Amino acid sequence: MGRGFLGSLLMGIACAGVVLAQPPEEALPIPKPLYPTQPDKTMMPRADGSLAQVPGPDGLYLDSGDPGWFGGDMPDRFWFGAEYLIWRIKHADIPPLVTTGSLSSLGVLNQPGTEILFGGFGFDHGGFSGARVTAGLWLDCEKCTGIEASVFYLAERSNDFLFDSAIRQLLARPFISLNNMQETSELVTFPNLTKGEVRVSVPTRLWGPEVNCMHKLCCGCCYQLDCLLGLRYLQLDEAIDITESIHVNPDASQFPPFFSQFARFAGTSIFVNDRFATHNQFYGGQFGADLGAAHGRWQLQLRGKLALGFTHEVIDINGGQLIVFPDGTRQGFRGGLLALPTNIGHFTQDRFAVIPEVDINAGYRVSNCLCIYMGYTFLYWSRVVRPGDQIDRVIDTTQIPNFAQSTLPTGFARPTNPFKEKDFWAQGLNFGLEFTW
């Protein structure tokens, strides 16, 4: 019994030691806190215990992580921009197309008193209004890889000119006669002989889309540098339309002897049209870089791109004459004055071309989701065809319908299509809004 009692006592002491050896409840390891023990000045707790960002002194959210280009945690994974464009394009070379002068000069170039009314100088198209739309998104939360698509459009601008007999007693269209290699002219208006008008229209349109993949190369607290790789399309459409309306005096007895050839057209109306149209389409790939920097609400962006590819060049030349006789009957002819059977047609070729572009934008962030900005764009196109360069002024006059003459054909196919190429540029200002979310 003594051993039993002693054993029970020893057993109780051992159990008490085990209990005493366990650490007190307050000494158990404390779980890692959900948030740092030092308060994050960029975050504040909500009522439900979660954290929210604290707006900085400039009204924008602060960022305790990688700020990236627009400030890290700002809602900028998607963006959309719309811009208004005010651009100009390179002047066009157009030969002399309409002249006036004294009755003795007959509007022939290099004669005393002859004045060029249209052409013979660098033609300025004036300013173009347009728009550009851009949309993109980052494909990852770290904003390392993204995609962006953009398209711009300059609204078609048509410069129209009218020259008529109500203002000018004499109107003429000058050219070089291959038959005698001298400057000559076709008369449109002459006192007591003909009256009428010449209209010249020069329409122009430029537009193009592009799509680019973007990848972040490096970034800092206030800048980010991305590389670009993508595809580009560009299209330039231009034309020169010359239309004559000639009304011949029905009293042939008043025609001076020099104009006796007009007697057969007494009382008729003659309509002459020449059209030179060009169409340029660029297809290619491009690469470039996009550098963005920010200071508070202010932002600056510098982007450079270089596209390599080919230009599909198209030239369309057409011309015709229509004679309306006094009895109302009509007769049409193929060929006008500068557009004749020897150069009328549809011509194409493909040529290698490069298109560099530089964009500079300065913006102000009104809120976390809206930025207003303005900038400048310069775009260069190494090789295009333009309508004025496709006009050949050297003409075998025997090719001109209803052109009275006493010469024989030269045997040379003139005028011809020279297929001349020039470089081209467009530049101007842009004003835009960008939304990010």
Rounded CA separation 241/158 (Å): 11
The predicted-structure confidence for 285-313, as pLDDT tens digits, reads as follows 999 999 999 999 999 999 999 999 999 99
Residue 41 has pLDDT above 60, yes or no: no
Query: In DSSP terms, which residues pair with 76 in a beta bridge?
Result: none
In the chain, count H helices and then E strands: 1, 20
The larger pLDDT score, comparing residue 398 to residue 121, is at: 398
Above 50 in pLDDT, residue 34?
no
Closest CA to 99 of 89, 109, 110, 91: 109
Residues 6+ apart with CB under 8 A from 362: 298, 299, 300, 301, 373, 374, 375
Q: Tell me what pLDDT residue 257 has.
A: 61
Give the domains, in start order, of the chain with CATH numbers: 61-436 (2.40.128.90)
pLDDT digits (tens, 9 = 90+) for 49-59: 555 555 554 44
- At 184, is the pLDDT very low, low, confident or very high (cuts 50, 70, 90)? very high
pLDDT exceeds cutoff 80 at 369: yes
- Mean pLDDT over 112-139 rounds to 94
pTM (2 decimals)?
A: 0.81
pLDDT of residue 44: 58
> At 180, is the pLDDT very low, low, confident or very high (cuts 50, 70, 90)?
confident
pLDDT for 253: 59
Average pLDDT estimate for 158-179: 93
Say what percent of the chain tops pLDDT 90: 66
- pLDDT category at 65 given cuts 50, 70, 90 is very low
* Between 111 and 8, the higher pLDDT residue: 111
First to last CA, the chain: 86
**Average pLDDT, whole number, for the chain?**
85
Residue 7 has pLDDT above 80, yes or no: no
DSSP state of 31: P
Contact 69, 136 (CB under 8 A): no
Q: Does the structure show a pLDDT above 50 at 71? A: no
Over residues 342-366, the pLDDT tens digits come to 999 999 999 999 999 999 999 999 9
Confidence of residue 266 (pLDDT cuts 50, 70, 90): confident
- 14 pLDDT band (50/70/90 cuts)? very low
Does 403 or 222 have the greater pLDDT score?
Answer: 222
The token duo for 426 is: 């467009």
What does the pLDDT read at residue 255?
67
Average pLDDT over residues 128-148: 93
Measure Cα distances from 119 to 61, 99, 201 in Å.
Answer: 59, 9, 12
Average pLDDT for 6-32: 46
H/E element, 388:
none
> When comparing pLDDT for 21 and 268, which is higher?
268
Alpha helices in 136-185 (DSSP H): none
For the segment 80-102, the average pLDDT, to the nearest whole number, is 96
Residue 33 has pLDDT above 90, yes or no: no
Band (pLDDT 50/70/90 cuts) for residue 406 is low
Q: What pLDDT is stored for residue 412 in this prediction?
A: 87
Give me the DSSP letters along 236-296.
EEEEEEEEEEEEE-S-GGGS-GGGGGGGGGTT-EEEEEEEEEEEEEEEEEEEEEEEEEEET
